[in-house]
């Protein structure tokens, strides 16, 4: 039901958990098609063949929670506050759980906007929501935070392209586990930074990140990603130069192999060393130190690999070269969604190369993946650790979790 201005049922207060759930249905759509986000370019994302993913990731989180209810016979009642259609109601309606009730307290406009998210969050908190769960990226986190500040805790199911804020679960399944712990009363809260990039400038290759505030979030260091940090020590330049020299030599030795170069400053420097105009925040394809495809979407990578017969079982080798996000440790699944599960499988997980200056790696507790393909993520984690290039012919093993 839709309850405009809903104020909650005071007779039930204290006897159940009241959780607000809002989904940004377009979050993350621009990633695989090379748009680096969806702010202001939703129509173009659809034209490029983008597929919505936020509701699937929300369903994954709720499935994990429902599994816990069934397995452990959790008897805590949950009153869900949500918004209409793809903003939450549709995914919640898929679950038959007698201990859950669903109140649709906001009807979104056709083509949901940040205005809908904010309106819903305001109504939910006024109605007594004790926790706001959202599915989206940094932009959605910023919208939620703007309405609640530190009034109630918030945390995110990751679905965006750029997720630098420290309020996201590491993946949707973990989000479900966090919800379970919260409902059981076994979850503490802490602080999480709300960070966001200007997507228009991001698509133009500019890194313009800003801190918008510090939210209250569910706190479990192994499950909640840290905010991104930048390393600026003078010794970084020396390490970076060594990484660049090593990669330039390796790419010369593997001149007949196709290189899928991910985003970031380190990869841009490698591109400069071999004489190509590397996209700072995009994914580029290089063969024999020659750019063969710039700022690729997923389909372009796969098409080129087929054309060049590169990858597992092909006539030529292929490598993925990526750099992890400092602090968070994600090297696949954040900011490089174009390097999708089909791309990874075609290249081969044994041909993924991770590069990082040691100063950044020292501040990164573990490496993480969130490709959206559970089987692939498990295969990557089963490696236990991965070799990271940190200097000229210098490597360190880093644990994958």
CATH at residue 63: 3.40.50
Count of CB atoms situated within 10 Å of the CB of 13: 12
Contacts of 297 (CB under 8 A, 6+ apart): 32, 33, 34, 35, 48, 338
User: For the chain, what is the mean pLDDT?
Assistant: 86
Q: How far apart, in Å, are the Cα atoms of 128 and each of 62, 123, 149, 218, 392?
A: 21, 9, 15, 18, 57
16-72 residue pLDDT tens: 899 999 999 988 675 554 555 555 555 554 567 557 789 999 999 999 999 999 999
Among residues 192, 219, 246, the one where a domain terminates is 219
Rounded to an integer, what distance in angstroms lies between the CA atom of residue 139 and that of residue 356? 27
The whole-number pLDDT of residue 146 equals: 95
Same domain, 170 and 302: no
175 and 259 part of one domain? no
| DSSP for 235-246, written as a single string | HHHHHHHHHHHH
Classify residue 5: in a domain, yes or no: no
Domain end: 169, 189, 219, which one? 219
Q: Do 184 and 91 fall within a single domain?
A: yes
Q: What is the pLDDT of residue 132?
A: 98
Continuous H helices in 275-349: 298-308, 341-347
The per-residue pLDDT for 229 is 47
* Per-residue model confidence (pLDDT) at position 53: 86
267: in domain: yes
Q: 278 and 209 share a domain?
A: no
Distance CA 220, CA 225 (A): 9
- 309 and 393 in one domain? yes
Q: How many domains does the chain have?
A: 2
The reply to whether 244 falls in a domain is yes
Q: If you average pLDDT over residues 294-318, what whole number do you get? A: 96
Average pLDDT over residues 139-159: 94
What are 308's two structure tokens? Answer: 């060049």
Instruction: Provide the token pair at 340.
Output: 């999708």
Query: 78 φ, ψ to 5°?
Result: -125, 125
The reply to whether 257 and 336 lie within a common domain is yes
CA 119 from chain centre, in angstroms, equals 25
Helix (H) or strand (E) holding 135: strand 131-136
8 Å CB contact between 140 and 112: no
Q: Give a yes or no: residue 184 inside a domain.
A: yes
Asked if residue 248 has pLDDT above 90, the reply is: yes
The residues near 259 (Cβ < 8 Å, ≥ 6 apart) are 251, 285, 286, 287, 318, 319, 321
pTM: 0.71
> Are 263 and 146 within one domain?
no
Residue 275 in domain:
yes
Asked if 50 and 28 count as a contact pair (C-beta separation under 8 A), the reply is no
Q: What is the pLDDT of residue 196?
A: 75
Is it the case that residue 230 has pLDDT exceeding 60?
no
- Is the residue at 71 inside a domain? yes
Cα–chain center distance at 72: 29
Tokens 């609640």 — which residue?
Answer: 148
CA 138, 144, 150, 152 torsion-angle sign: negative
**Least confident span in 3-7, 133-137, 312-316:** 3-7
Q: Looking at residues 333-355, what average pLDDT do you find?
A: 95
In a domain, 226, yes or no: no
Give the pLDDT band (50/70/90) at residue 401. confident
Domain span at residue 352 reads 235-399
* Residue pLDDT, tens place only, 186-207: 888 998 989 876 555 554 555 5
Same domain, 17 and 83: yes
Residues 205 and 240 in one domain: no
Contact 30, 161 (CB under 8 A): yes
Which of 219, 250, 274 represents a domain boundary (last residue)? 219
Same domain, 297 and 365: yes
| Helix then strand then coil, % of the chain, to nearest 5 | 35, 25, 40
- Does a structural domain hold residue 353? yes
Residues 195, 209 contacting (CB under 8 angstroms) = yes
Same domain, 127 and 246: no
pLDDT of residue 362: 86
The verdict on 161 and 301 lying in the same domain is no
């Amino acid at each position: 039901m839709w309850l405009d201005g809903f104020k909650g049922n005071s007779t039930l207060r204290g006897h159940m958990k009241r959780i607000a759930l809002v989904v940004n249905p377009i979050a993350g759509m621009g990633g695989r098609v090379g748009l680096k986000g969806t702010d202001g370019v939703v129509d173009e994302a659809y034209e490029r063949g983008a597929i919505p993913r936020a509701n699937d990731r929300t369903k994954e989180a709720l499935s994990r929670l429902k599994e816990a209810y069934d397995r452990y016979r959790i008897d805590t009642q949950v009153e869900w506050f949500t918004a209409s259609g793809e903003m939450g109601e549709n995914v919640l309606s898929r679950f038959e759980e007698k201990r859950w009730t669903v109140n649709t307290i906001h009807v979104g406009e056709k083509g949901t906007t940040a205005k809908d998210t904010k309106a819903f969050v305001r109504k939910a908190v006024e109605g007594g929501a004790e926790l706001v769960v959202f599915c989206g990226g940094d932009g959605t986190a910023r919208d939620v935070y703007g309405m609640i500040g530190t009034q109630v805790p918030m945390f995110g199911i990751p679905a965006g392209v750029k997720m630098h804020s420290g309020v996201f679960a590491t993946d949707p399944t973990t989000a479900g586990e966090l919800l379970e712990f919260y409902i059981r009363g076994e979850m503490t809260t802490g602080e999480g930074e709300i960070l966001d990039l200007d997507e228009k400038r991001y698509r133009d290759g500019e890194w313009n990140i800003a801190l918008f505030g510090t939210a209250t979030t569910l706190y479990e260091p192994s499950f909640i990603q840290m905010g991104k940090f930048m390393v600026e020590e003078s010794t970084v330049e020396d390490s970076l130069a060594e990484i660049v020299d090593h990669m330039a030599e390796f790419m010369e030795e593997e001149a007949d192999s196709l290189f899928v170069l991910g985003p970031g400053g380190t990869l841009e420097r490698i591109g400069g060393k071999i004489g190509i105009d590397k996209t700072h925040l995009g994914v580029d394809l290089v063969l024999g130190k020659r750019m063969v495809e710039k700022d690729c979407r997923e389909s372009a990578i796969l098409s080129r690999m087929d054309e060049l017969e590169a990858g597992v079982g092909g006539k030529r080798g292929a490598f993925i070269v990526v750099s992890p996000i400092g602090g968070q440790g994600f090297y696949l699944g954040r900011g490089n969604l174009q390097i999708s599960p089909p791309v990874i499988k075609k290249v081969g997980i044994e041909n993924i190369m991770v590069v990082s200056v040691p100063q950044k790696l020292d501040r990164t507790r573990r490496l993480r993946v969130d490709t959206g393909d559970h089987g692939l993520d498990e295969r990557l984690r089963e490696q236990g650790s991965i070799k990271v290039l940190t200097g000229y012919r210098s490597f360190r093993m880093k644990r994958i979790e």
